Structure 1
């Protein structure tokens, strides 16, 4: 993922817009669209805002339709985005490549506002001034999603450092959903690698993001401090993606669910079946990214296996790479 690092400049005035702070994201957009009536940017009106850390964009900002293959943001709630975006991506192919790696995070449902937050940066709404996410929105998504990312060995990236974004008393994109613990009894969330629907699309996203993919049996599951340790059976394993695995890794294969000692994982309730295992190597540990029971009757699984043999994965500079 490109590390566009900059200190946002909050060019919009605060006082006259204080009333919008209590509005929802889409109400805020509706109001601003009426005020600006802008389908295209006035380049000179925000030229000074386009200079960050010595970088100056010579390409005139433009409004583009959000394409269907920009899956992260295609259904976010508005149809046009601006380029360059708020992460310094200047072309649509670059946006697609960088945004694609975040799609699996949406499937984890770590926070209801994850898509709104990410798309406010990757595919910002097409207005005459850039509107950044509020710091509280960033913090809410970070606090819910960073533990999920850490399960896969990824820290919260510096490019999404919440201190870079404006306080809620500025004009910015607020949270859309807020959890009310008083009305919602706590329900244990499944371990992230276990919380995957058996769909070809999901399988392929994890396949492309994983270092290695195996069909194998699990002999034993143990708790190891705060982690969960999966010890592979010694029977023959079928390698679907070899990646960085060495022969000695396969002989005594042990996988870890980071911080997964106590979260539910229904797939591991019974160890008799074969499993589709996908993982990454991080700091000499093999981390589990996704696990499915190998269902011979599943059309979704059959399609995914066929796809693995005949298609190349995109190159991501990404979170789930």
Structure 2
């Protein structure tokens, strides 16, 4: 009878790693995805992007250390031979897309694909805003947009429209976001009752025509003549900007005569009165030339005035022509 000698070598049991290698690959892919999104959506590749990229690198290194067989198979097996070309093509396509996006963003190229051109200025608005930017007598205009945290998506959309106003005005128009719930005092000063409303205003001017600055060195903006807009609608915003830009004591004199009434004149009168707060009067030239009258031409105490000749069925008299001549020679404005 033979004796069997026991085997001194114990059986080895494969131990599962504490972190599955597959999970490390998933984390690495997520880190790369976050880094790409940060690069495409942010102006600078900040802490979040760098951290995500570092996480991806660390996870890949740990995966290689914890699963060397998988790494060796990837580098020497059929995956590299048959899938290498696909990987290279994918990398080239991604790199090309990133390069194109970076160039377009750097050049400020934007295309409004909405049906109603919601995020770009119409030709009329752009012409009006460009005129404001080119006029040195118009002060800077500030847009105060009140958006809460629940309106982050709408805020990002409206930023495109605000940027259009900034570009068209050559930088004379600027904007800033506030949360009405966090700055209730500021919201109350401008009559803002909820987030989503927008204020258009200009700096307060001192007696020398210079912006007023508070003790902290910040510009003080006008609260009395500011315009409150219910939403970021292009028509409402453009009208508010034009009204603020032309704030002051402005007068329009419509010269009365035979058959001078028309629907266009009524529409213009209503627009000047309701939208721009102009003083509009239907009056004769003889009344305007009366020194004892309510109004007088070339008044130095008003910010601007214009005479409108809407037509009529009779020619002007010699006296009326002389009044107009004197008015124009003194720098007056006439619309026929």
Asked if TM exceeds 0.5, the reply is no
User: Which has the greater radius of gyration?
Assistant: 2
Q: Which has the higher strand share?
A: 1
The structure with higher relative contact order (CA 8 Å, sep 6+) is 1
Q: Which has the higher helix share?
A: 2
TM-score, normalised to structure 1, is 0.25
TM-score, normalised to structure 2, is 0.24
